[in-house]
Amino acid sequence: MTITSNPPQVRDDLLCSDQQQQQSDLQIEKPPEAAPASLGAPGRVLSIDTRVEQAWAHWKKLGRPKYIVAPMVDNSELPFRLLCQKYGAQAAYTPMLHSRIFTETDNRNKEFTTCEEDRPLFVQFCANDPDTLLEAAKKVAPYCDYVDINLGCPQRIARRGNYGAFLMDNLPLVKSLVEKLAQNLTVPVSCKIRIFPNLQDTLNYAKMLEDAGCSLLAVHGRTRDEKDGKKFRADWGAIKEVRNALRIPVLANGNVRCIEDVEDCIKETGVEGVLSAETLLENPAVFAGFRTAEWAKDNEGEGYVDGGLDQGDLAVEYLKLCEKHPVPWRMIRSHVHKMLGDWFRVHPQVREQLNAQNILTFEFLYGLVDQLKELGGRVPLYKKRKIDTLQESPQKDLES
Ligand SMILES: Cc1cc2nc3c(=O)[nH]c(=O)nc-3n(C[C@H](O)[C@H](O)[C@H](O)COP(=O)(O)O)c2cc1C
């Protein structure tokens, strides 16, 4: 086979930079000076009261983030996290890292990069072996605020690999994973779960995680079988019950399309904060109060106006962040598709150019945005007209 027969995704696995540029991000073999926040000495089993107290102290020290970027394979990587942070996100999860592969790969793992501004940060792993998980977790502990266990992935690959939501069939194993980290790591352990069809099963599960040493729980309010987020609404009622049953901080996930959904979710469930995934991919400025046309249209009566920002602007900002913090091209390709999706629907021939491009370059991608702008049909992001709402929005440094 010749190199020209490689499918685009193989070339897309290459980093969008040379080695020199990579040096600007933290390398995982060089721990930062400051010691990470600790939940007690490794190896010590603390009482539940002490653990709950420490879990809250840690959460408060982080500033109790409400607006959080959910973990997304190939999509919640460093440049995207930084873009969302600029537009109001107050914390973020890395994409899921596979704990075994992470321990077997060279430390300069291109799937995990971070930098000083990239905090608070949850680094998420999938795992089914406590020792392997601990080994992987120790490598990232100096760079994050939580090591998170993915207990929610419902995909076939997770079934085959026996991780994610398929560990819901083996709760003793889940318990051993959480205990291993909680007793041996200086950074707190968090978990992200899906709900069971039966509420009491969900509550027993959540309680077991808390008892095992989980310091923060994110609950995606859909079951393992409810894979399609557009088809199945997340069950905020179940999330509220979990929040009321637990003593540690709880986060909610599901049904967030705009900033008002975040506030409604917090009010309805009593959670500390909300994770958003799919909405952020199209509109990384959602936490700053911006809406895509789809969600502004539904509420025309409320007076949505052009917010002075569009997805083309966001795509350019994202590309600049990628130049500074290199990631594999496949991640960039995926974001460009999602961020410019509304524009591609107006000008499908430009999308075809992107699809035909096996080897991406920044020059090509900036040119793509320019081309869309020149073709016209700009699709703005909208904001509420009311002055008080604009002032309340968490938009950060937009003028800079
Ligand atoms: C592209 C993509 C990748 C995802 N990867 C992960 C992952 O690595 N770990 C995880 O726990 N959930 C993952 N998820 C699920 C999201 O974190 C989230 O739970 C789900 O999309 C529901 O949130 P939403 O309604 O805001 O989209 C992913 C979702 C998407 C869309």
Q: pLDDT digits over 73-85, tens only? A: 999 999 999 999 9
C-alpha angle with apex 54: 51 to 58, nearest 5 degrees?
A: 140
pLDDT of residue 81: 98
Cα–Cα distance, 7 to 81 (Å, whole number): 28
**Which residue bears the tokens 């430390």?**
107
Question: For residue range 234-253, what is the model confidence (pLDDT) as tens digits?
Answer: 999 999 999 999 999 999 99
Whether 334 is in the pocket of ligand 1, judged by its Cβ within 6 Å, is no
**Which residue bears the tokens 């795509």?**
315
Surface-to-core class of residue 264, CB atoms within 10 Å of its CB (0-12 exposed, 13-18 middle, 19+ buried)? middle
Residue 240, CB half-sphere, CA atoms under 13 Å: how many?
10
The atom number, within ligand 1, closest to the CA of 222 reads 22
Alpha carbon of 276 to ligand 1 centroid (Å): 8
Of 187, 98, 191, 167, residue with least CA distance to 136? 98
Hey, which residues does 149 pair with through a beta bridge?
125, 191
Residues serving a catalytic function are 153
Whether 258 is in the pocket of ligand 1, judged by its Cβ within 6 Å, is no
Q: Which tokens in the block code for residue 76?
A: 């919640």
pLDDT of residue 293: 84
Cα–Cα distance, 394 to 141 (Å, whole number): 29
pLDDT of residue 232: 95
Q: Which tokens in the block code for residue 111?
A: 């799937």
Can you tell me the mean pLDDT for 255-261?
94
pLDDT of residue 239: 98
pLDDT of residue 223: 97
Whether 99 is in the pocket of ligand 1, judged by its Cβ within 6 Å, is no
Residue to probe by mutation, ligand 1, list 68, 69, 73, 228, most atoms within 8 Å of CB: 73
pLDDT of residue 100: 96
pLDDT at 396 over 50: no
Can you tell me the mean pLDDT for 212-227?
97
Can you tell me the mean pLDDT for 323-330?
96
pLDDT at 389 over 70: no
Cα–Cα distance, 235 to 243 (Å, whole number): 13
Q: Which tokens in the block code for residue 334?
A: 């995926």
Q: Look at ligand 1, atom 1, and give the residue with the nearest C-alpha.
A: 72
pLDDT of residue 74: 96
Of 70, 83, 32, 6, residue with least CA distance to 327? 83
CA 134 to each of CA 29, 59, 182, 257: distance values in angstroms, whole numbers, following the listed order? 16, 22, 10, 35
Whether 256 is in the pocket of ligand 1, judged by its Cβ within 6 Å, is yes
Cα–Cα distance, 373 to 379 (Å, whole number): 10
Residue of higher predicted confidence among 27 and 380: 380
pLDDT of residue 384: 87
Q: pLDDT confidence of 19, banded at 50, 70, 90?
A: very low
Residue ranges of domains in the chain, CATH in brackets: 37-283 (3.20.20.70), 293-392 (no CATH)
**Listed range (73-77, 323-327, 388-392) with the worst mean pLDDT:** 388-392
Q: Is residue 184 a contact partner of residue 158, using CB atoms and an 8 Å limit? A: no
Whether 220 is in the pocket of ligand 1, judged by its Cβ within 6 Å, is yes
Residue to probe by mutation, ligand 1, list 72, 265, 279, most atoms within 8 Å of CB: 72
pLDDT at 365 over 70: yes
Q: Is residue 42 a contact partner of residue 185, using CB atoms and an 8 Å limit? A: yes
C-alpha angle with apex 332: 330 to 334, nearest 5 degrees?
A: 70
Cα–Cα distance, 61 to 41 (Å, whole number): 19
Cα–Cα distance, 25 to 85 (Å, whole number): 17
DSSP annotation string for 337-387: HHHTHHHHHH-HHHHHHHHH-SS--HHHHHHHHHHHHHH----EEEEES-H
The atom number, within ligand 1, closest to the CA of 256 reads 26
Query: What is the total residue count of the chain?
Result: 400
Surface-to-core class of residue 251, CB atoms within 10 Å of its CB (0-12 exposed, 13-18 middle, 19+ buried)? buried
pLDDT at 65 over 90: yes
Hey, which residues does 221 pair with through a beta bridge?
none
Q: pLDDT confidence of 303, banded at 50, 70, 90?
A: confident
pLDDT at 324 over 50: yes
Q: Which tokens in the block code for residue 221?
A: 């309010």
Can you tell me the mean pLDDT for 298-302?
56
Amino acid code (one letter) for 39: L
Cα–Cα distance, 124 to 161 (Å, whole number): 16
pTM attached to this predicted model: 0.91
Strand ranges (E), the chain = 67-69, 91-93, 97-98, 121-126, 146-151, 189-194, 216-220, 250-253, 273-276, 304-310, 380-384
Question: For residue range 199-219, what is the model confidence (pLDDT) as tens digits?
Answer: 999 999 999 999 999 999 999
